Structure 1
């Protein structure tokens, strides 16, 4: 696939899975041997872990919107800088709903094979945002 096609897969992952919580899309865009090299804490580093982590985010936050600022692609890698905007409307990691608007900064690097996520590396401030609630 071209770098532009890979960028579209990453965009779809962000909009359909992270933003909307649609786990069905993962069957189409995440490989069976996917590995998240920077999975948080006790979260599994496979597709099950993705579902677990984003499920936790959707339980604690509503009105999730992702703004993608840059996507850089080379060969089979796509790097994305984005901000996740949300409202804290549910319990998350022991923090009762506050109604606060939050912003979570994220940089992801994804390796794709045949239009599917194979590897993920990332840095974000999601845990710091949750701890500040």
Structure 2
């Protein structure tokens, strides 16, 4: 049986980076829960759709594992995500711009199967690098409303 760290690497390198979503069928529990906020169902099929969508928008998308920490049944990873915006991404038409962001992933395993995943990509950095960030005046207005 593979270790949790080995499965983490497979899911990141084969699943997220190379777009081979079949690894999630192999290494995920039927009770898997996705906790990352997104637009897909919080299950294995949703993760596979999210990865396919990501690779559609950024065909050269990759994640490089920079640090990995084991904590009981959880593996924590700090990664660098990179890609080039070649196809529509949400409402944004292709810009041809490249990005490089930090991504934190936490995966919890039970008996050699992924049971939970939390993903925290630096979406603000992604939006800024693709030219999607809101104008500074709007940001300041939102901040002032939040601090009332």
**Scaled by the length of structure 2, what TM-score is found?**
0.79
Q: Which residue of 2 aligns with 1:72?
A: 69
Q: Secondary structure at 2:55's aligned position in 1?
A: helix
CA root-mean-square deviation: 1.8
Name the CA distance, whole Å, in 2 between partners of 1:128 and 1:69.
18
Counterpart CA distance in 2 for 1:59 and 1:131 is 20
Partner of 1:25: 23
- Runs of 4+ off more than 4 Å: none
Which residue of the other structure, out of 95, 98, 105, is the alignment partner of 2:95? 98
Unaligned runs of 5+ in 2: 131-148
Count of residues in Structure 1 that have an aligned counterpart in Structure 2:
130
Distance 1:94 1:125 in 2: 18
Structure 1 residue matching 2:93: 3-state secondary structure: coil
Q: Which has the higher contact order (CA 8 A, sep 6+)?
A: 1
Question: 1:48, CA displacement in angstroms?
Answer: 1.3
Contact 1:7 1:73 in 2 (8 A): yes
DSSP-derived class of the 1:63 partner: coil
Counterpart-to-counterpart distance in 2, 1:71 and 1:124: 16
Correspondence 1:113 to 2:110: yes
Query: Residue 92 of structure 2 aligns to a residue in which SS?
Result: coil
Q: 1:43 aligns with which of 35, 40, 43?
A: 40
Structure having the higher Rg: 2
Deviations 1:19-67 (A, max 9, x none): 1111211111111100012332x32111111012111111100222221
Q: Report the CA distance between 1:123 and its aligned residue.
A: 1.8
With structure 1 as the length reference, what TM-score do the two structures score? Answer: 0.87
